[in-house]
């Protein structure tokens, strides 16, 4: 939210009035929020140019199988769970995506409570058109960092986000219960709720 962050000196000033304020924590926290927001907004600008929003894009990416490159149908509840939003939000996103002809709804033949959301050919080609630019855009944003710095950044971010340890995930990719590698299911966040 803050466009310009307070200088470190100003934070130190504020500590006089508020002894609870941990200056280095405050600085790290504000910079994290700002950098995250910056990166998010840049992507948003790019997506907007292609009649996309982060929410719409996420839904479409979830319908797009990264491994096979083929569209795979999913239920709204699946999409909500994977995207980390409510089912009501998915309903709204699918509404506009369907309106634009990028996805279709279909009743599940087995359980008629469920819907199956499909990427249409139009949706698939829209994605093909957007993805290269999106990837370039991500690469450009991270370009200032060396490979080593990226690794460090990921490690520190995971510490903050409450991910136990980045290391063990790659090592023993447990997956005790089968299925669903598509979006990866590493480290279920504490944000369960």
Partner DNA sequence: GTTGGATAGTTAGGAACCTAATCATTCTAC
Partner DNA sequence: GTAGAATGATTAGGTTCCTAACTATCCAAC
Q: Where are the alpha helices (DSSP H) in the chain?
A: 8-17, 23-48, 54-63, 76-83, 87-99, 121-142, 147-161, 167-171
- What mask of x and - would describe binding to DNA in positions 12 to 51, judged by CB under 7 A? ----------------------------------------
Could you tell which of its own copies, DNA, none binds residue 114, using a CB distance below 5 to 8 A set by kind?
A: DNA
The only residue of 121, 149, 165, 174 in contact with its own copies, by rule CB under 8 A: 149
Residue 82 CB coordination number (10 Å): 19
Q: How far is the CB of 158 from DNA (least distance, A)?
A: 22
From the number of C-beta atoms within 10 Å of its C-beta (0-12, 13-18, 19+), residue 173 rates as: exposed
Tell me: does residue 189 bind DNA (CB under 7 A).
no
Question: Which range touches DNA (CB under 7 A), out of 17-25, 71-79, 161-169, 183-191?
Answer: 71-79
Q: How far is the CB of 18 from its own copies (least distance, A)?
A: 6
Separation between Cα atoms, residue 170 and residue 163, nearest integer Å: 13
Tell me: does residue 49 bind its own copies (CB under 8 A).
no
Could you tell which of DNA, its own copies, none binds residue 4, using a CB distance below 5 to 8 A set by kind?
A: its own copies
The only residue of 50, 73, 75, 81 in contact with its own copies, by rule CB under 8 A: 81
Q: How far is the CB of 174 from its own copies (least distance, A)?
A: 11
Per-residue tokens: 118:
């499909």
Separation between Cα atoms, residue 89 and residue 95, nearest integer Å: 10
Tell me: does residue 89 bind DNA (CB under 7 A).
yes
Separation between Cα atoms, residue 8 and residue 6, nearest integer Å: 6
81 vs 166, beta carbon nearer DNA: 81
Could you tell which of DNA, its own copies, none binds residue 167, using a CB distance below 5 to 8 A set by kind?
A: none
Q: How far is the CB of 3 from DNA (least distance, A)?
A: 10
Burial 40-59 (b: 16+ CB within 10 A, else e): eeebeebbeeeebeebbbbb
Separation between Cα atoms, residue 63 and residue 79, nearest integer Å: 8
Tell me: does residue 116 bind its own copies (CB under 8 A).
no
């Amino acid at each position: 939210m803050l466009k310009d962050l307070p200088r470190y000196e100003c934070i130190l000033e504020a500590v006089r009035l508020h002894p609870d304020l941990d200056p280095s924590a405050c600085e790290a926290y504000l910079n994290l929020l700002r950098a995250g927001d910056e990166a998010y907004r840049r992507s948003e600008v790019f997506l907007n140019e292609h009649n996309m929003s982060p929410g719409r894009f996420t839904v479409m990416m979830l319908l797009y199988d990264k491994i096979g490159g083929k569209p795979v149908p999913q239920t709204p509840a699946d999409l909500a769970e994977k995207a980390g939003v409510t089912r009501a939000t998915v309903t709204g996103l699918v509404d506009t995506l369907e309106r634009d002809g990028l996805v279709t709804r279909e009743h599940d033949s087995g359980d008629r409570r469920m819907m199956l959301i499909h990427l249409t050919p139009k949706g698939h080609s829209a994605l093909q058109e957007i993805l290269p630019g999106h990837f370039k855009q991500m690469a450009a944003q991270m370009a200032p960092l060396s490979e080593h710095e990226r690794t460090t950044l990921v490690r520190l971010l995971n510490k903050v986000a409450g991910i136990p340890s980045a290391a063990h995930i790659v090592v023993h990719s447990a997956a005790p219960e089968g299925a669903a590698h598509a979006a990866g299911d590493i480290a279920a966040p504490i944000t369960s709720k």
